[in-house]
Amino acid sequence: MTGKRWIALGVAAVLFLFSTVFTVVTQQFGSEVDDFIGAQGMGVNEETMHAGTDAGKIAVVHIEGMLQDTGGDDFFSVGYNHSRVLNQLDRAAEDGEVHGVVLRVNTPGGGVVESDEIHDRVQAIQDDYGKPVYVSMGSQAASGGYYISAPAEKIFANGQTFTGSLGVILQSFNVSELAEDLGIEAETFTSGEHKDFLSPFSESNEGEQEIAESIIDDAYEQFIDVIDDGRENLTRDEVYELADGRIYTGNQAAENGLIDDTGHLEDAVDSLQEDLDRGDLSVVEYVGGSGMPSLFGFAQQLFPGSEQRQLEYILQDNDGPELMYLYTE
């Protein structure tokens, strides 16, 4: 194991210790702590990126990290905070001063459900509130990251952004041989033949493999529908051809029609300003509360690549198999 990975495990241990101490404090002081956490974690604060000379504003919402709802306390959530992102999207939709939204997407994707919830919020901002949504892709906006971007009116990406990875993954661990080597025998009693489907203590049989394939196919077709609906420039057959799981750079995505243009966050904001034609609007970005996320932000700077995702995985609840729109290295 490399020194960097040892440090990652050390940071994970520190964060776990903080979380444990916090749990004890919460049990002792109950509602007082809950009220404080709610105020700190779920608040939507604005920071001005550009002070415009005309009335109204453009809201920038950052979506970074693996899209996974850990169900934890918002104040102590690690990395990506699903509740906070949904709250920010709702704020952008309901704020009468906001005339358009830019999503800054920098994620390898994540859970199928979480991706779909964000997608539906983005769709509602445009359809129900009449506000255009543009996307600026960061270093990666793959799989679920593309899923949440697809309904946007315009998509921008850096020429070397990693996007694509259009597809589904269902993963579980099998430790049956290891358990046997250790002399551990797991006894499982079920009410049906497939109740222990994808159990880590038994190998999948042919019937269970067919079940897994049917689940994956259903989620895959939903992904195809989302792209087909969002990218009117592509036919459904073209979407199928592109959705074979491969990664595309931003330049390649511009050529094959998955995005509209290459550029940075500033280019997406400027394009939205021009298309809105409302003069010089202010540009604000939404930021959440403080606390544990800032400590995890330090860890993200230490481990910007796969180590970051491993650290997130260690600290998040992974009680069983989960269907994912996720790009994995």
For residue 141, what is the enclosing H or E element? strand 133-142
Active-site annotation holds for 4: no
Q: Which of 77, 115, 136, 143 is catalytic?
A: 143
Quote the tokens at residue 305: 């690549």
* Residue 196 DSSP class: T
What are the residues whose beta carbons fall under 8 Å from the beta carbon of 75, sequence distance 6 or more?
36, 37, 40, 41, 289, 291, 292
Active-site annotation holds for 195: yes
C-alpha to C-alpha distance for 108 and 312, rounded to whole angstroms: 12
* Residue 96 DSSP class: T
What are the residues whose beta carbons fall under 8 Å from the beta carbon of 80, sequence distance 6 or more?
63, 64, 65, 66, 67, 68, 107, 110, 312
Nearest to 38 by CA among 87, 79, 80: 87
C-alpha to C-alpha distance for 31 and 37, rounded to whole angstroms: 10
> Which residues are known to be catalytic?
143, 195
